[in-house]
Amino acid sequence: MSDPRTVTELACAKLNLALHVRHRRPDGYHELETLFALVAHGDLVRVTLADSDSFTLTGPFAAVLAGEGDNLVTRAAARFRAAFGGGAHAIELEKHLPIASGIGGGSADAAATLRALAALHGVAQDDPRLFAIADALGSDVPACLLGRTALGRGRGEQLMPLEGLAGTPTLLVNPGVAVSTAAVFQRWDGVDRGPIGTGDLLTVARTGRNDLEPPARAVAPAIDAVLAALAAQPGVLLARMSGSGATCFALFDTHAARDLAAAALEGRGWWLAATHLR
């Protein structure tokens, strides 16, 4: 029987199906237009009512984060308590997503923490105060909290939910290289190549681009081999890098095509996740 004092949330990886950087703003951020989508694969966050606060890291990528002490999960919990109360919690983060990989792992973890805390304490999942906390934690956290496909503007936090592409077979591939978001943005050439288009979501994604892909490939040339390998697989609808890299993804026309591609790319030392869009 499950413990009613514990809530487990999946922290879904986030993909930028398209990411258009329009200009650098006076506040130092970049004005973006991005088509967000989430996949049915990610970290797990378990939050339990407790007598004292604790934070535990487990999972295959736990060692990379060990010793940080302060991260987006603990910050999310602290800000939730400041806004809503709720006492102490034991939080476990089961880390399955690579670190600094362009798929919003830390943002997804923070959003999952907020959802779990809201469920434990009877706070509505669409409470505006949750989204205010998410926005203060980082540009991708509101999209991860929303938990569905959306068009993002501003820093990415101005969200318009969209329908379409749910269930599309997806393969994530990371070459095992951590990429600094700041370093990639610093190498962006500053050219505004225009807005995201209109139409059905697959068309919008395919006619779009990721403006951070060229600078990320300069920072981490290993991305080149991943994109080439994905693009060469049968049944690919779209192959692209997500966020500031280095994780790349491919959307497929069938689950069988995705699984064949995953099998073909095994053994290269890359991290792979066969999943689908939510």
Contact present, 65 and 95 (Cβ < 8 Å): yes
pLDDT of residue 66: 78
Model confidence over 229-242: pLDDT tens digits?
A: 999 999 999 999 99
**Count of Cβ atoms closer than 10 Å to residue 22 Cβ:** 16
| Whether the Cβ atoms of residue 161 and residue 149 lie closer than 8 Å to each other | yes
Q: Residue 73 contacts by C-beta under 8 Å, 6 or more apart in sequence?
A: 45, 55, 91, 93, 109, 110, 113
- Please state, in angstroms and rounded to a whole number, the distance separating the CA atoms of residues 249 and 35: 14
Three-point CA angle 206, 212, 215, nearest 5°? 130
Query: Rounded CA gap, 195 and 191, in Å?
Result: 12
DSSP 230-277: HHTSTTEEEEEE-TTSS-EEEEESSHHHHHHHHHHHTTSS-EEEEEEB
Q: How many CA atoms lie within 13 A of 262 on its CB side?
A: 18
Q: Going from the N-terminus, what domains does the chain have, and what CATH number goes with each?
A: 6-161 (3.30.230.10), 169-276 (3.30.70.890)
> pLDDT tens digits for 89-110?
999 999 999 999 999 999 999 9
Query: Model pTM?
Result: 0.96
d(CA 143, CA 152) in angstroms, rounded, equals 8
Instruction: Give the pLDDT of residue 242.
Output: 98
Cβ atoms within 10 A of the Cβ of 124, count?
9
CA angle (241, 209, 23) in 5-degree steps: 105
pLDDT value at residue 1: 47
pLDDT one-digit tens code per residue, 151-163: 999 999 999 999 9
Which helix (H) or strand (E) segment holds residue 51: the answer is none
Burial 40-55 (b: 16+ CB within 10 A, else e): ebbbbbbbbbeeeeeb
* Burial 79-95, CB ≥16 within 10 A → b, else e: bbbebbebeebbbbbbb
How would you write the pLDDT of the chain (278 residues) with one tens digit per residue?
A: 456 799 999 999 999 999 999 999 999 999 999 999 999 999 999 999 999 999 999 999 999 887 655 689 999 999 999 999 999 999 999 999 999 999 999 999 999 999 999 999 999 999 999 999 999 999 999 999 999 999 999 999 999 999 999 999 999 999 999 999 999 999 999 999 999 999 999 999 999 999 999 999 999 999 999 999 999 999 999 999 999 999 999 999 999 999 999 999 999 999 999 999 99
Residues labelled as active-site residues = 14, 140
Mean pLDDT for the chain overall = 95
